[in-house]
Amino acid sequence: MISIKEVTTKKELKEFIKFSFTLFKDNPYWIPPLISDELETFDKTKNPAFENAEAKFYMAYKNNKPVGKIAAIINWQEIKEQQIRKIRFGWFDVIDDIEVTKALLEKVYEYGRQHNLEYTEGPMGFNNLDKVGVLTEGFKEKGTAISWYSPEYYKEHLEQLGYVMEKEWIESEFPFSNINPDDFRRASEMVKKRYGLTPLRLTKTKDVMPYVDEMFALFNKTYEKLSSFVAVTDAQRDYFKKKYIGLINPEYIKFIVDKEGKMVAFSIVMPDFADALKKANGRLFPFGFIHLLRAKKRSKSVAFYLIGIDEKYQNKGLTAIIFEENYESFTKNKVEMCIRTPELEENHAVHNLWKAFNARIHKRRRTYRKDL
C-alpha cells in the first residue's frame, strides 16, 4: 500500500532531503547537497523565489517506509509573463517502482488542476538557475554540484507514464591540455583594440561584488530569447549574490567592459565541488566547510557555469578575450579538467564556442512534459 503525505514541518523537510542520501548511499556518481542549503531553498522566509512562486512537497511511503519524494512548483512569474500555464515538478527521487512514481505525480496533477494549469514539466526547480532534468545518458559519470543525478529508471518511468521530451541539455568535458592558447590570443588582442574593451582582473571577492548587479542585468538581457527563460528578479539576484558568489574563486569570475566602463560580457567558472561535497556528506560542520574551502582554491577541475555577451557584441570575437583570461587563471591554479555544465541543446551559439577543444559529450538530460 502506497501512501502520500504532504511535507510541511522542518523535521519533515529534513526527512524529505535525507531520503536521497538513503537512496543513493552506495552510488559513487551521486553528489550529495548540503542539507542546510536545501532547507534554506525550501524556506519561504529565506528563498526569494517564493515571492513569485509556490510549492508543495510530498513524500511517498510503502509499509511505513519512505520510498519517494517530489516537489510541485508553480512559478507565477512564468505564467504571467509568458502565458505558460504549467506546473513544475522537481527534487524528484524514487525507488524503482513505477507505482510510487505514479502516485507522487498524481499529487502534482492535483495541485496543478486546482489552479487550472494545462500541463506539467520536470524535473526542474523554481527558476533557470536551479538544477534541471533527468539523465538520459551518462549514468556512470560523476555528477556535479549544480546538477541532479538520476538512475536510468527515472526516464523509463516517465516515458511509460506517457511523458514526452520537452527540452534536452548536454554536458561535456575536456582536459585543459586540449587548449591551445594560440587559437585565441591573437584574436583577443585584435578584439580588445577594435572595440576598446578591457577585461577586469579581480582577485578578491570584495572587488567582484560591485559588478554583480550589472552582471545579472546582462544575464537577463542575454538569455531572454531562450525558450522558457524566466528573468532573475532583484530579490533573487541579492539572494544568489549573498549565497553563492563567495564560494567561487574570484579569479574565475570574468568581466569585460567597454570604454565607458559598461559591462558587455561576463563569464563564471566554478571550482568543481563534487569531491568536497562527497566528503562533507551533507553537512558543513565539523569539517564540510573545510573541504569546500579547499576545493574553492585547489580544485583541479572547473565547471563552466554561465557566460553572457551583450547582443551588440555577439559574434564579434569576445569569447577569445574570455578564453584568454580563463587560460591564464587555469594555468596559474594548475587546472587539469574543464567541465561544461548543462547547456540547452537548442543553444547552438554556446555549443559553437567549444568546437576547438574536442570536448567529450558524456551526459544528456531532459525535462519531460505531460498534459493535465
Tens of pLDDT, residue by residue over 100-144, are: 999 999 999 999 999 999 999 999 999 888 999 999 999 999 999
pLDDT of residue 351: 75
Q: What is the CATH number of domain 2-170?
A: 3.40.630.30
Residue 117 grid coordinates: 494549469
What are the residues facing 267 on neighbouring strands?
A: 254, 307
pLDDT of residue 244: 87
Q: Is the predicted pLDDT of residue 352 greater than 80, yes or no?
A: no
pLDDT of residue 186: 94
Q: Is 191 left (phi over 0), alpha (psi -120 to 50) or beta?
A: alpha
Amino acid in the structure at residue 154: Y
- Confidence bin at 187 (pLDDT 50/70/90): very high
Phi, psi dihedral angles at 266 (to 5 degrees): -150, 160
- Confidence bin at 348 (pLDDT 50/70/90): confident
pLDDT of residue 344: 87
Q: What is the mean pLDDT of residues 151-174?
A: 97
- Confidence bin at 210 (pLDDT 50/70/90): very high
Please give the helix or strand (H or E) that residue 67 lies within, else none: strand 65-75
Q: Is the predicted pLDDT of residue 165 greater than 70, yes or no?
A: yes
Q: Is the predicted pLDDT of residue 353 greater than 80, yes or no?
A: no
- Confidence bin at 227 (pLDDT 50/70/90): low
Q: Calculate the CA 94 to chain-centre distance.
A: 21
User: What distance, in Å, lies between the first and last C-alpha atoms of the chain?
Assistant: 25
With b meaning 16 or more CB within 10 Å and e meaning fewer, what string describes 315-335? eebbbbbbbbbbbebbeebeb
Domain range 174-363, CATH architecture: 3-Layer(aba) Sandwich (3.40)
Minimum mean pLDDT among 103-107, 242-246, 335-339: which range? 242-246
User: 224: which residues sit within 8 A by CB, 6+ positions away?
Assistant: 231
Q: What is the mean pLDDT of residues 306-310?
A: 91
Distance CA 109, CA 114 (A): 9
Confirm if 118 and 86 have CB atoms less than 8 A apart.
yes
How many other C-beta atoms can be found within 10 angstroms of the C-beta atom of residue 348?
9
Distance CA 304, CA 289 (A): 22
Average pLDDT, the chain: 94
Q: How far is CA 184 from CA 55, 187, 331, in A?
A: 46, 5, 15
Distance CA 41, CA 343 (A): 23
pTM of the model: 0.92
What pLDDT digit, counting tens, does each position of 358-368 carry?
899 999 999 99
**Where in the chain are the domains?**
2-170, 174-363
Minimum mean pLDDT among 25-34, 46-55, 146-155, 352-361: which range? 352-361
Higher per-residue confidence, 289 vs 56: 56
pLDDT of residue 129: 83
What pLDDT digit, counting tens, does each position of 29-82 carry?
999 999 999 999 999 999 999 999 999 999 999 999 999 999 999 999 999 988
**Fold agreement between 2-170 and 174-363:** yes
